[in-house]
A and B are shown apart, each in its own frame.
Chain A
Amino acid sequence: MMMNHPLKNPFNIIPGTVITGKWHRKQFKVIKELGSGANGTVYLAQHGNMQIALKMSQDGLSVTSEANVLKSFAKVQGSALGPSLLDVDDWESSKGLFSFYAMEYIEGPDLLSYIKQKGRVWTMVLILQLLNDLAILHEKGWVFGDLKPDNLIVKGPPARIRCIDVGGTTQIGRAIKEFTEFFDRGYWGLGTRKAEPTYDLFAVAMVLINTAYPERFSKTIGEIGQLRDAIRKKTELTQIEDVLLKALTGKFTSANEMRSELLQKISGIDTASAGQRKATQPQPEGRNTTPSGSPAGMSRTALKQQRQSSVRQAKPKKQKKRRVWMETFFIFLAVSFLYFFYILFKVI
């Protein structure tokens, strides 16, 4: 969520401050602030010989609920679904008690800065990676929710897109917890705010549109008419118009389906403009507006790398059996706990 808060950063932790968790007594030495938003402030910190990201909030509930999401991601094998969770604790500071969680530090520029630096050819590679991750996420019963370039960081090399900020991540079927207007289908009058895979795929299309309109734009007439017009004004978007329109109107049944149609589209364009292949080197920004700098000009190496990375997703299955048992156990635990409360509420 993008919002200005009168009391944006109540912690104002000075670099060098050592934060000791109230419960687990782990120590984190703050290096600097990474950013802040509606749900708190994120710091870069040192823990042992490791650099980690620490999200601190006045709102203990949001920390707890985001940590819950990250915890359940940890159960997904070989996942790159979000930063991995390292610790959840409270900090008794001189200004009061604050909840925090420590997570993997994902170092790199956000999606738009990366594309600006390295050239448009990277857009498709990264979006294909993202769709891969979303497919796994959806399969596990989650919708990312607050999908936007600010929440997408490109790590590397090799370049790998990663989602941060799971504040909007919602179980499929529930109401989306947090969103940003430009990427929200409800805002455009193109659907509900129920957590469904199509909700994320809409946002992916808007992320693509955002790469061509870095300043974004506001709703005028809204709905598909306005978005279609916006697509048709940019060559790099018209080349994938069908895919975008399908995503915007909720026609894809899965992230994988959108991924393969996108892949098909760009490989098609790739052969059609074979002579215009580009190297995957940083290019001056001005040249990006030429057709060859568009996503169509995606290089073979980039494509190959993408294929490799998707192959790498297929992990060995030896631990699978144990996983299944663990999963069963956890589900059992969760269900009994919920049932306990259910009974409680009925009795009262």
Chain B
Amino acid sequence: MYAGKIRQILLITDGCSNQGEDPIAMAALAKEQGITVNVIGVINEDRIDEQGMKEIEGIALSGGGVHQIVYARQLSQTVQMVTRKAMTQTLQGVVNRELKQILGRSQSLEDLPPEKRGEVMEVVDELGETVNLEVMILVDTSASMKSKLPTVKEALIDLSLSMGARSGANLYSVCVFPGKNGDVEKLMDWSPKLQALSSIFPQLSTGGVTPTGPAIKVALASFKQKRSLRSLLSGDDESSFEESV
């Protein structure tokens, strides 16, 4: 039986990567595997530098996801909004593709009159409520992020409160970069709740470099590992919704 599932990477950072693979290329790679990459840029009252902004946009664009720049204090609302929005976009992509197949022409949601669009949206809403969701959360813990980390923790716990109200299942995993020993460190393996973070998060040490690209790479590997483990155990194929643009 077909069981749809949405897979996302949520990257929380405050600026520029400076180590390892090109994060924009890594995001493109993720998209090819049906994983969307969403980016939240957290800034203090001061402005974010232009280059950092460009990278944030670039990663989300090539990762087929959503990006948003916010002040640290608005993080909770943003994290859930971005996750939801990206989910809806993916589902819309799926529905769009089906529409094209049925109608046999290059038709997307925008080409439908508003009345028809409304009916399709109801289906998208319904799917958004019931679909299973897997989010790999990547948190930038370079030195400049230090003061924002408690807020990030709160926002992530809040995210699981929001998504937990859906009837679909949720799985999260959390990685930080740079890690204690190496570029990336897995803080929490796939789990249906993020509450456990409250005890792990404060013990973080923050380093200097920002290996965003390698972090995305590790995230992809983690999705893959999870997948092969599953198919080994259950012997069935996992399918997932993919973005179609």
Question: A residues bordering B, Cβ < 8 Å?
Answer: 1-4, 6, 23, 38, 59-61, 64-65, 67-68, 71, 88-90, 97, 99, 173-178, 181, 186-187, 192-195, 334, 337-338, 341, 344-348
Contacts and interface: CB of A to CB of B under 8 A. Distances in A.
Contacts of B95: 341
A175 B129 contact: yes
B166 A174 contact: yes
Contacts of B98: 341, 344, 348
Contacts of A6: 69
B118 interface: yes
B165 interface: yes
Instruction: State the 4 A-B residue pairs at the shortest beta-carbon distance, nearest first.
Output: A175-B165, A193-B165, A88-B114, A64-B121
B126 interface: yes
Contacts of B129: 174-175
Given A59-B85, A71-B118, A341-B95, 10 more contacts: A23-B114, A60-B109, A64-B117, A67-B118, A176-B165, A186-B162, A192-B165, A193-B165, A195-B165, A338-B126
A23 B116 CA distance: 12
Given A1-B81, A193-B165, A345-B4, A337 B119 contact: yes
Residue picked from A64, A68, A176, A347, most chain B C-beta under 10 Å: A64
A337 B123 contact: yes
Interface in B77-98: 77-78, 81, 84-85, 88-89, 92, 95, 98
B161 A192 contact: yes
Given A3-B74, A88-B114, A348-B2, A341 B121 contact: no
A195 B126 CA distance: 14
Nearest to B118: A68
B85 to A, nearest CB: 8
Which of A3, A181, A337 has the most C-beta atoms of chain B within 10 angstroms of its own C-beta? A3
B1 interface: yes
Given A60-B110, A61-B88, A175-B166, A345 B2 contact: yes
Nearest to A1: B77
A338 B122 contact: yes
B124 A61 contact: yes
A348 B244 CA distance: 15
B113 A65 contact: no
Nearest to A71: B118
Dominant secondary structure of chain B at its interface with chain A: helix
A65 B129 CA distance: 14
B69 to A, nearest CB: 6
B197 interface: no
A70 B177 CA distance: 45
10 contacts: A4-B71, A60-B110, A61-B92, A175-B129, A175-B163, A175-B166, A177-B84, A337-B119, A337-B122, A348-B2
B161 A3 contact: no
A64 B114 contact: yes
Contact of B74 (A4, A97, A173): A4
Greatest chain A CB density within 10 A among B117, B125, B126, B166 is at B117
A6 B110 CA distance: 25
A323 B70 CA distance: 47
Contacts of A192: 161, 164-165
A209 B218 CA distance: 47
A89 B114 contact: yes
Contacts of A194: 165
A65 B127 CA distance: 14
Contacts of A173: 167
B198 to A, nearest CB: 12
B158 interface: yes
Given A186-B158, A345-B2, A61 B165 contact: no
A3 B110 CA distance: 27
Nearest to B69: A6
B122 A334 contact: yes
Most buried by A among B78, B84, B115, B123: B123
B76 interface: yes
A67 B114 contact: yes
Contacts of A23: 113-114
Nearest to B239: A348
Nearest to B73: A218
B15 to A, nearest CB: 15
Contacts of A2: 77
A6 B88 CA distance: 22
Nearest to B122: A68
A186 B161 contact: yes
A38 B78 CA distance: 10
B1 A346 contact: yes
A3 B77 contact: yes
A181 B162 contact: no
User: In this complex, which of B2, B92, B119, B165 has the most chain A Cβ atoms within 10 angstroms of its Cβ?
Assistant: B165
